[in-house]
Amino acid sequence: MLSIGMVHAQQQADTATMMLSLEEAKAVAMEHNRTLKNASLDVQKAEAARWQSIASMLPQVSGSLNYQNMCGYEMELGNFPIAMPPSGTLGITASVAISGAQIVGAHLGTIAMNMTDITKKQTEQQIGNQVKSVYYSILAMEQTIDLLEKNLINIEKLYETTQRSVDVGVAEQTDADQLSVQVATMKTSINATKRSLEMLYNSMRLQLGLSADQAIVLTQNIDELINVENALTLLSEEFVLNNNYNYQLLKENVKLSKQQVHLSEWAYGPTLTAGYQYSAKKYFSDQMTMNMTPPNAVSIGLSIPIFSSGKNFTSVKEAKLEYKKQLNTLSDTEESLRIQHSQLRYNLSSAYETYDTQKKNVEVTQRVLDNISNKYEHGYASSLDVTNSGTNLISAQNSYVQALLDFVTAQIALEELLNK
C-alpha cells in the first residue's frame, strides 16, 4: 500500500497536490532527499577507493608500440659497418609490487567504507526524524489556525452585536472598541501563524527534495500520531552503546587510528617487486644488422629501507600518540552518552508532563472564553472580560503548541540515541 501511494504521489509531483501520511513523507525523503543521495555517493566513493588499494597489489600490465628511423645512419664496429634500418618494437610489461603498507592501506579502505556506511544510516535516521518533526509542527500550526479562526468568528459576532447596541445607545463605545482590538489581535496572530506555517511547508519540500511550488497536503492529524504510551515506553528502554551510530563511528575511528600505527611501522618493512617484459623488434629492411633487444626479461627485486634520519621513528611515535588520544576520546564518549541517556529520559518525562498540562489548559481556557462570551451576550460580563479571556486563549494555545513540539523533540532525541 505504501509503494502504491508513493508511485501515485510521484506521478502527481510538480503538477498536482501530493497527499502524504507521515510514513509516506519519510519514504519520499529516503528516495529524493539530496543530502541522503550524497551520503549514498560517499559510500560508493569509499568502496571505489578501497578497490584502488586492493588493485595496487595486483599485477599491472602495459603495452607499447614504437617506430624508430635512424635516417640511413650506419654504425661502424671496427672495420665492419652495421646498418641501422627503420624498425618497430612491440613491448609488453607485467609487474607487481607488494608491501606491508599496501596491505594496511586495503584495511584502511575497508574501515573507511564501514564508516561511510554508518554515516549513511545515521543520515537516514536524521532525515526521517527531521521529516517527523516538521510534519508534527505543520499539524500543530494548522490546528492552531483552526482554533483561532473559530474564535475570531465568535468575537467578530460579539463585536458586531456590541456595535449595534452602541448605535442604538444601549452600550458604551469603549466596549465595542475593546472587542475591535481583540478582533485585530486575533487576525494578527492568525496571519503570523500562517506565515510560520508556509515556512514549515517550505522546509518539508526541502527535506523531500520537491520543487518550491509543489503543493502538499498532510493526511494525518495530531491525535492520530501522538502516541503517549509508545513514547513513555522509551523511558524503560535499556541503552546499548553499540546501537548508537555516533559510538559506532568512534569505534571505527579507533580502528582507523590503530591501522595508521601499523602503516607507519611498515615504513621499516621491505617492498617486493617482480616483473616480466616481452619485446619483439621488426626491421623494415633487408639490410644486415644486429638485434640486441632480448625478447624476454624477468626481474625480481627486494627494497629494504636502512636509514631515514629518524623520520620513520617519529612518524610511528606520532601515530601511537594519536591512537592513545582516540582511546581516551572513546572512553570519554561512553560516559558522555550514558549521561546523555539519563538527561534525555528526564527531558522526555518533563516534556510529557508539560504537554499534558498545557493540553488541559487549552481546553479549560477555551471553555472559559465560551462561558465569558455567553455571559457577555446576556449582560453578565464586560467586554474587558471577553478581551482578557481571548488573550489568555491565544497565550494558552501558543504554550500548548510549544509543549507539543518539545514533547516530540524529546521523543525523537531519545529514539535517535537508542537507535529506535
Whether residue 328 lies inside any domain: the answer is yes
Whether residue 74 lies inside any domain: the answer is no
From the first residue on, what is the mean pLDDT of each consecutive set of 10 residues in the chain (420 residues)?
A: 54 67 92 89 89 87 89 74 82 89 87 91 92 91 87 84 79 82 88 92 92 89 85 89 92 91 86 90 76 84 85 88 92 93 93 92 89 82 80 85 90 90
394: left (phi over 0), alpha (psi -120 to 50) or beta: alpha
The CATH number of residue 212's host domain is 1.20.1600.10
- Give me the phi and psi of 397, to 5 degrees please: -65, -40
Whether residue 293 lies inside any domain: the answer is no
Task: Give me the number of domains the chain comprises.
Answer: 1
Whether residue 303 lies inside any domain: the answer is no
| Distance, first Cα to last Cα, the chain | 23
- Global pTM reads 0.78
Whether residue 294 lies inside any domain: the answer is no
Whether residue 348 lies inside any domain: the answer is yes
Confidence at residue 8, expressed as pLDDT on a 0 to 100 scale? 52
Whether residue 290 lies inside any domain: the answer is no
Confidence at residue 76, expressed as pLDDT on a 0 to 100 scale? 73
Q: Pseudo-torsion of CA 145, 147, 151, 153, nearest 10°?
A: 60
What is the rounded distance in angstroms from the CA atom of residue 345 to the CA atom of residue 238? 11
Confidence at residue 1, expressed as pLDDT on a 0 to 100 scale? 54
The order of strands in the sheet holding 296-303 is 60-68, 87-99, 271-283, 296-303
What is the rounded distance in angstroms from the CA atom of residue 179 to the CA atom of residue 190? 16
State the number of CA atoms in the 13 A half-sphere of 5 facing the CB. Answer: 14
Confidence at residue 14, expressed as pLDDT on a 0 to 100 scale? 44
Domain with 21 in it: 2-61+99-272+310-418
**The three grid cell numbers given for residue 200, joined into one nine-digit string:** 514549515
Whether residue 80 lies inside any domain: the answer is no
> Cβ(96)–Cβ(58) under 8 Å?
yes
